[in-house]
Amino acid sequence: MEPVLNAHRLTKTYRTGSESVVVLQDVSFHVYPGESVAIIGASGSGKTTLLNLLAGLDLPDQGEIFLGPTQLNQLTENDRAYMRNRYIGLVYQDYQLLPHYTALENVLFPLEILRQTSGKKEKAQALLSKMGLSERYYHYPSMLSGGEQQRVAIARSIVTQPLILLADEPTGNLHREASDEITTLLFEMNKTLATPMVIVTHQMDLAMQCDRVYQMARGKLTPYIEKTLKPS
């Protein structure tokens, strides 16, 4: 089976003045159709940096990133933006909804960018309803709870039927109950739509529900092995 996303030997160093920080060192990573992959690691270990490279929001110093057959890091900024809008669903910790757009308008937005003409409204409404928000189409983000805003953001991320979903701390701003709801929704979608997902998270219970778990530390990405103390 071919991976949907294939990142090969990525290196990324940030330079500020005379200081330089090597954040990613020879990181390889792939995601296969339908699977869920978690990335855990201490604060500042480079998880968001890696996700931003995978989304084509930033470029590696070295290495290659393929989304399907397309090498993302060789495209122009405009072409990367097109690939991102068309093929990648992004979910952030702070939702990043447009504040002056209603829930429905936020979900419609990616379809407007892609100039989709038919069935947009029905598609967006159906997704919002699936997220339990059929009573919230015309609410603005400020009128929604954190969990509701994240559900709108998830609907927005999948309305274009992306090849992959990349989520950066999707439950990081939510209290326990809303966090569990969002986790359930993400895995339901992963199963029903078979959209593979990569989730950066500090929440081990969320990470452990994924098919594979990786850990970022000292610039390296390695498979995470749970340390369990078994009674002898």
Binding mask 115-154 for ligand ATP (x = CB under 6 A): ----------------------------------------
Q: Which amino acid is at 54?
A: L
Helix (H) or strand (E) holding 176: helix 176-193
Does 23 sit near ligand ATP (CB under 6 A)? yes
Does 16 sit near ligand ATP (CB under 6 A)? yes
d(CA 184, CA 191): 11
**Do residues 197 and 37 make contact, with C-beta atoms less than 8 angstroms apart?**
yes
Q: How far apart are the first and last CA of the chain?
A: 40
Q: How far is the CB of 46 from ligand ATP (least distance, A)?
A: 4
Is the Cβ of residue 58 or residue 64 nearer to ligand ATP in the bound state? 58
Q: How far is the CB of 228 from ligand ATP (least distance, A)?
A: 24
Q: What angle do CA 22, 24, 30 make, to 5 degrees?
A: 175
Does 80 sit near ligand ATP (CB under 6 A)? no
**Do residues 24 and 8 make contact, with C-beta atoms less than 8 angstroms apart?**
no
Does 14 sit near ligand ATP (CB under 6 A)? yes
Q: How far is the CB of 15 from ligand ATP (least distance, A)?
A: 8
Q: How far is the CB of 172 from ligand ATP (least distance, A)?
A: 9
Does 160 sit near ligand ATP (CB under 6 A)? no
Other CB atoms within 10 Å distance of the CB of residue 76: 8
Does 60 sit near ligand ATP (CB under 6 A)? no
Residues 6+ apart with CB under 8 A from 70: 83
Residues of this chain that interact with ligand ATP (CB under 6 A) are 14, 16, 21, 23, 41, 43-49
